[in-house]
Amino acid sequence: MTDTLQGRTALVTGASKGAGKAIALALAEAGADVAICARNQVELDSVAELIRAKGRRAFAVTCDVTDAGQVAALPDAVSNELGAVDILVNNAGAAESHKFVGHPDELWNRMIEINLTSVYRVSKAFVPGMIERKWGRVIVIASISSKHGARYVTAYTAAKHGVLGLVRALAMELVSSNITVNAICPGYLDTPMTDASIANIVKRTGKSEEEARKIIASTNPQGRLITVEEVAALTVMLAGDSARGITAQSITIDGGQLQH
């Protein structure tokens, strides 16, 4: 039986497209009112309309999660529109690659900031309210790169490994407040971020876009990209009351690519 999220308020970061958009719509479908943030207000407004079409309240706010000031303003902004946040989905992130020799420091700093520090920063902004109300869900969209290494993605991999450590430590600190903290670790998703990886392969190897997509899909034993709907469904499950015993976990969705 699917839990209802009726009466709950969620915030999804990086919700203007891709997995974030799918997660926001799935949470609304399950009954939650949903606040969404990203850097593109026009795209956010479009997603907000889709949430309202499901009969739920929506609030779209521009926020760069790498900007401490903008993040600090989020709790009051969301609370004024929808009420306190019960379910926080840290989805915002980015992936860039470079071989380690000659790796630009600015790329390292950028990957750590968007993929790790932003999760720390946004969680820090919303967790105090959850502690006060003695209920909360913090869900981080991580990656299979949280669990294994690969060539040319040193900074991204380090950031995603760090996110997993953050999730586990925070879960233990918040367990007595009836707050769960979990990570979802998908393989390659069928999203604009993966499209960028495909374009990079095309540029680097001269292969066609179709060939490059097949290379990425072949890393999944099922021979496909993971869909955003799969990630969204798991997010909704973790947000519900029936998942109250699941915390400090990293749940992999990769078609069997990682077997540990």
Break the chain into its structural domains and give their ranges: 9-187+227-244, 189-225
152 is catalytic: no
Radius of gyration of the chain (CA): 18
In angstroms, how far is the first alpha carbon of the chain from the final one?
A: 29
**pLDDT tens for each residue of 199-243:** 777 777 888 888 888 888 888 999 999 999 999 999 999 999 999
**pLDDT tens for each residue of 91-113:** 999 999 899 999 999 999 999 99
pLDDT value, residue 106: 97
Neighbours of 143 (CB within 10 A): 29
Residue 139: which of 7, 5, 13 has the closest Cα? 13
Write down the residue that tokens 């839990």 correspond to. 3
Q: Are 62 and 37 in contact (CB under 8 A)?
A: yes
Q: Are 88 and 136 in contact (CB under 8 A)?
A: yes
Alpha carbons 260 and 258: distance in angstroms, whole number: 6
Mean pLDDT, the chain, rounded, equals 94
Helical pair 68-82 and 118-133, crossing angle rounded to 10 deg:
40
Residue 114: which of 76, 141, 78, 149 has the closest Cα? 141
Alpha carbons 31 and 127: distance in angstroms, whole number: 22
Question: For 9-187+227-244, CATH number?
Answer: 3.40.50.720
pLDDT value, residue 208: 86
Q: Are 20 and 37 in contact (CB under 8 A)?
A: no
pLDDT value, residue 1: 47
Residue 34: which of 103, 91, 87, 113 has the closest Cα? 87
Low-confidence spans in the chain with pLDDT less than 50: 1
Q: Structure pTM?
A: 0.93
pLDDT value, residue 2: 64
Alpha carbons 53 and 32: distance in angstroms, whole number: 13
pLDDT value, residue 35: 98
The token duo for 225 is 């990209």
Q: Is 248 left (phi over 0), alpha (psi -120 to 50) or beta?
A: left
